[in-house]
Amino acid sequence: MNASKRHQIFSRLREQNPHPTTELEYSTPFELLIAVILSAQATDVGVNKATRKLFPVANTPELILSLGLENLKSYIRTIGLYNSKAENILKTCQLLIELHNSSVPSTREALEALPGVGRKTANVVLNTAFGQPTMAVDTHIFRVSNRTRIAPGKNVLEVENKLVRFIPTEFLLDAHHWLILHGRYVCIARKPKCGACIIEDLCEYKNKTEEA
């Protein structure tokens, strides 16, 4: 995969979707942080169903803390790993109040110091809430990067580093969303829909399908 191909790929993705964004529903950086913590090993659709009930009742660190553990669990019970996520969310809310004046910090170090927040979650928040050109590599991005050969790597960090290095600067801010959506709806895991793919002729995947 050369630089010219990568530029063409992201040009087409931008043309198809000029203003991509997360499918998680949120209105503040704090709501986004909570939604992303909840989204680990869960679908965005499932998270949105839960937060549509939670956020009207509690959408600040203070309000979520005031719910208490059992009440918080009742809102997120439909989401996988809800027990540990509820505990992490309450601990994170406490730290946001104590250390960050109830605001979501905009640095990787401060975000990764919060319970339930790993590198991927921090990257989503930095990119989506604060407009930083980070790359949150989930299973979709990992698959698309390797399958197309845009940025092949043996592990998530290797793919992340290659994407940040190889993607032209003009596309870097939105590339995370384009790749996730492409992996979620077109370059799907079991049988990619190559026949419906706008970058099929640029992709270097050897086992292309006729699926649309």
194 carries a ligand binding annotation: yes
Range(s) of the chain covered by CATH 1.10.340.30: 29-130
Nearest to 177 by CA among 32, 38, 18, 48: 18
The superfamily in CATH containing domain 29-130 is: Hypothetical protein; domain 2 (1.10.340.30)
Residue 122 and residue 106 in contact, taking contact as beta carbons nearer than 8 Å: no
User: What is d(CA 154, CA 146) in angstroms, rounded to the nearest whole number?
Assistant: 9
Tell me if 203 is assigned to a ligand binding site.
yes
Q: What's the whole-model pTM score? A: 0.90
> What is the percent of the chain where pLDDT is above 70?
100
- Average pLDDT of every residue of the chain: 96
Whole-angstrom distance, CA of residue 150 vs CA of residue 21: 21
Choose the catalytic residue: 120, 154, 201, 208.
120
Does the annotation list 187 as a binding residue?
A: yes
Number of neighbours of residue 20 by Cβ within 10 angstroms: 19
Question: Under a CB-based contact definition with an 8 Å cutoff, are residues 37 and 89 in contact?
Answer: yes
Q: What is the pLDDT of residue 210?
A: 84
Helices 139-148 and 156-166, axial angle in degrees (round to 10) = 60
Q: Which of 5, 138, 162, 206 is catalytic?
A: 138
CATH 1.10.1670.10 for domain 3-20+135-202, yes or no, is yes
For 129, residues 6+ apart whose C-beta sits below 8 A from its C-beta are 29, 32, 33, 104, 106
List pLDDT tens digits, range 92-134. 999 999 999 999 999 999 999 999 999 999 999 999 999 999 9
- 201: annotated active-site residue: no
Is the pLDDT at 211 greater than 90, yes or no?
no
37: its two tokens: 């913590």
| Span(s) in the chain for CATH 1.10.1670.10 | 3-20+135-202
Distances (CA, A) of 85 to 40, 80, 89, 105, 198: 9, 9, 6, 20, 38
For the stretch 160-204, pLDDT in tens is 999 999 999 999 999 999 999 999 999 999 999 999 999 999 999
14 pLDDT band, cuts 50/70/90, is very high
Q: Please identify which residue in the block is written with the tokens 């979501």.
A: 104
